[in-house]
Amino acid sequence: MKRGRAVRIKRKTIAYAAGVLACGNLALQALGFVYRIILSRYAGAEGLGVYRLVNSAYLVLHAGCLSGVTMACSRLSAVYEARGEHQRVGAVLRLAFSIFLTLCISCAAAVLLFGDEIAAGLLGDARCARAFPFMVLCLLLTGVENIFKALFIGLEQMQYTAYSEVGEQLVRIFSVGWLLRHDQSGDYGVTAMLIFAGMVISEIFSALFLTGLFRRSTRHHPFGGRVDTATVRRFLGIAVPLSAASLIGNAIGSAGAVLLPQRLMAAGMRYDQALAALGVISGMAMPLLLLPSALVSSVCTALLPAVTAAQATGQQTRVRALVGRAVMTVGLIGLPATAVLIPLAPSLCMLFFNQPLTQEYVFLLGAAVAVCYYQMLSNGLLNALGLQKWSVVTGTGAELLQLALLYDWCARPMWGIYGYLLAMLLTGAAAFAVDLCILYRHTGFSLHPLRRFGVPVVCAITLYAWTRWFYTILLYRWGSAPGAAFGALCGAVGIYVLVLRLFGIRLVRYLTRRMESHSKPRLCIW
């Protein structure tokens, strides 16, 4: 390529695939961030804490009733459609709805009958019971929506899912915002109830939209097949293990959300303060620092099919090259982006959520988020290589360890909420280290710590120092936090490109090389 010529992003490259995915992810994440701002403005930190408790129960029910069902529906519909067995695709769809409705009705009956006991005994806040009727209704509608999404994914009609997700998020923003704005009760249990009521409205839209698309797109498909024993066995063989793994993971995560306020109270906090701390982490600080996840997840998603294909065809050299490239690429994107947000987060959180944060708090949470990106990648690589059992084992072990550390550290008065952040950081790092060892053992990819991790860390440290220094100067001269943040971000982009060039890396060219390329970036370290 001649000097000065623009880099053209070709098809079948990491950059092309990631760019297409990133556009959709960024749109959804932007809408989701607006949604978080609305929640924080109208619900407040304590209201978000109550909603988080109810949502923890919702996630457990969602995992048990839906996670395995949707994955089985997607996989089997893809297999039968590829074979031209349209009748069996219809059988898979009816089977998915039958299993989901049976599980959903059973769970809904238990929640509605024993709602007060679940709210007070398991969640630790009786106010949560007010949201349970809307929670189970939301679960029912989400199931209809997600099963249709899984079918469309299996039929390779993923544009329909994108349309529904964007529309659903827009409806949710307006419905939840309108309901919370007109709430004058002052009861945070009612606040959580209204949030789920708004979610029900958005799920009604999405379910009706996808049902209409299904009827139109399958007008000429003979989807009236009979459910046979072989289909049931294959379906359950996929759904049961995945549901069990997802249920265990979400149950442990939800236990942490329920346990955190109680352990903070043991450290000397009042209940409203402890609940507000949960709301700040889950509803404000974490979504802000996770903004780069749209780019990171897009790169991961673009790489993983290539890893799976290379593994299936026995191209171990290509597998090793792709695994190494994935580790470095996530580091080059995730670490610098998080490093830029850390010094800006206290001001941005005050601007968007009207919530003060300390720099120490943000630094620990930012480090945990950066580790989360690596863990997201390692889990995806293990799944792509057919090593799902190791992904489940390491993930479950890390969550159990985090729960144990949370129980001990958060109850110490000198640590409090910082104990939770430290536990999140250490357990995430430990899980990634174990995953990396498993990947190294099964693929033999070159670790090259200086290149894979050293370069992203140097970029992150440089950008953190630059952003903190330049933002302080601009804030002093301009007196405007948004303007200073924007100026610091623009400057950080230039510094980022400069640092990469010093290491001999041109990120766009690095990503636009074909996935088959095994070449490594040239490092120039002085």
pLDDT in tens, 83-101: 777 777 788 888 899 999 9
pLDDT over 90 (residue 137): yes
Segment 323-345 shows an average pLDDT of 89
Segment 265-276 shows an average pLDDT of 87
Quote the crossing angle between the two packed helices 316-353 and 14-62, to the nearest 10°. 70
pLDDT at 313: 74
Least confident of 355-364, 389-398, 404-413, 509-518: 509-518
Specify the 3-state DSSP secondary structure of 522.
Answer: coil
For 137, residues 6+ apart whose C-beta sits below 8 A from its C-beta are 200
Structure tokens at 167: 């529309």
Stronger pLDDT, 407 or 389, i.e. the higher one: 407
CA 519 to centroid of chain Cα atoms: 31
65 C-beta neighbours (distance < 10 Å), count: 27
Q: CA-to-CA distance for 5 and 220, rounded, in angstroms?
A: 49
| 8 A C-beta contact, residue 185 and residue 246 | no
Residue with tokens 């009748």: 87
Residue with tokens 């994935």: 326
pLDDT at 406: 92
Residue with tokens 């979400």: 250
Q: CA-to-CA distance for 122 and 453, rounded, in angstroms?
A: 42
Residue with tokens 């673009």: 302
189-247 pLDDT, tens digit each: 999 999 999 999 999 999 999 888 888 876 655 555 677 788 888 888 878 877 887 88
Residue 183: phi and psi, rounded to 5, are -85, 120
Sorting pLDDT into bands at 50, 70 and 90, what band is 450? confident
- Nearest by Cα to 349 from 276, 438, 423, 287: 287
Q: CA-to-CA distance for 71 and 66, rounded, in angstroms?
A: 9
Structure tokens at 298: 């897009």
| 8 A C-beta contact, residue 384 and residue 359 | no
**pTM of the predicted model as reported, rounded to 2 decimal places:** 0.76
Segment 414-439 shows an average pLDDT of 91
pLDDT over 60 (residue 305): yes
C-alpha distances in Å from residue 383, one per residue of 150, 157, 204, 223, 526: 18, 23, 33, 31, 39
Residue 446: phi and psi, rounded to 5, are -75, 125
Its sign, for the CA torsion 251, 254, 260, 263, is negative
